[in-house]
Structure 1
């Protein structure tokens, strides 16, 4: 079963610089000097992005916002931890799961409160047929960041695989409370909801 969409191989972005001859300085137009510099647009906070995600009107709009959120999730604030997680993703892509685990373990020593690292390690555990380990890491990720919709989705899939439909439905509903436009999850909830809710009748 394929899930954990954000486990796509991370790639480091390197800015490329070209060395060129500098043009001789020219005197600035007095009008240009008088104009105040234009301020850069303020980047949205994570809270603002989640608010926009909850109000998105279309799946395409939601996908764009969720991608921005995932980029925020993917930054730990430590260049070393980010690099190690990138190498873990490369190992994951090569199906070298033990190496991926080892690298993420190092990340978690450096950044124990990085929800994305716990989420990524859960992904590797699942590939190693260790749903218990995966579920434990997903719970750690969600304790740190309760709005991690990918972690809720992964948790729902593991619970479904273990035939715990009631708890799986609860996890999927939490996904939709955060990201209402996830059509795949909506389909699951629409199918599973009557089955699980009807058990109480």
Structure 2
């Protein structure tokens, strides 16, 4: 009986104490004490991602890194511009190319130094059978971000379509300098190089 009375007294004292005091009464779990405070891992910079991309040992590894880079490319720092570009992508998916151009035009008024917006407008121009407009926008994208491997790839495709194989090969080789694991571009270079250079790789 005395034992239960002691337990009851201890329970009443614990509930009457403030939370901070109760914490001091409760025994600390040694595991909790030993764990250091959690810190979020530092996000890689764009330069670090490109360095990793250049050193990737497999196509799968490169695809994962390039996806992270593309995600960075798709953010302008302006919520309004990002929203407009997303709407342009929706219009593009519905093949409403004039609306996509109109929306990207608005984006470029807000963010004229956003390489991804120039690249996206180039892809729409290409669908509208305007390779001149597409090439102009791709050059703008590359001038802003010389490591934009998708813009270099698009430029290579347009040059190939216009039978400018010499400059197409240069563009594709620029792609592989940035992203050496792009197998489809490797295939094009391996097929095109002997014809342009006059010798096997």
Report TM bin, short chain.
0.7 to 0.9
Aligned equivalents of 1:46, 1:183: Cα separation in 2: 23
Aligned equivalents of 2:157, 2:146: Cα separation in 1: 17
Residues matched between the structures, number = 175
C-alpha RMSD of the superposition: 1.9
Within-5 A mapping of 1:25-174: 32=32, 36-174=36-174
| Structure 2 residues not aligned, in runs of 5+ | 1-18
Aligned equivalents of 2:85, 2:168: Cα separation in 1: 28
> Normalization by structure 2: what TM-score?
0.83
Q: Which has the higher helix share?
A: 2
> Normalization by structure 1: what TM-score?
0.83
Q: 1:38: Cα distance to partner?
A: 1.4
* CA offsets 1:136-156 (integer angstroms, 9 cap, x no match): 000000000000000000000
Q: 1:37: Cα distance to partner?
A: 2.1
| Structure 1 residues not aligned, in runs of 5+ | 1-24
Q: Secondary structure at the match of 1:112?
A: coil
Aligned equivalents of 2:196, 2:164: Cα separation in 1: 10
Q: 1:34: Cα distance to partner?
A: 8.2
Aligned equivalents of 2:36, 2:70: Cα separation in 1: 35
User: Equivalent residue for 1:11?
Assistant: none
Aligned equivalents of 1:74, 1:30: Cα separation in 2: 47
* CA offsets 1:54-104 (integer angstroms, 9 cap, x no match): 000000000000000000000000000000000000000111100000000
Q: 1:41: Cα distance to partner?
A: 0.5
Greater length-normalized contact order (CA 8 Å, ≥ 6 residues apart): 1
Q: Secondary structure at the match of 1:83?
A: helix
Q: Point out the more displaced range, 156-165 or 38-47.
A: 38-47
User: Equivalent residue for 1:9?
Assistant: none
Q: 1:33: Cα distance to partner?
A: 7.3
User: Equivalent residue for 1:15?
Assistant: none
Q: Secondary structure at the match of 2:181?
A: coil
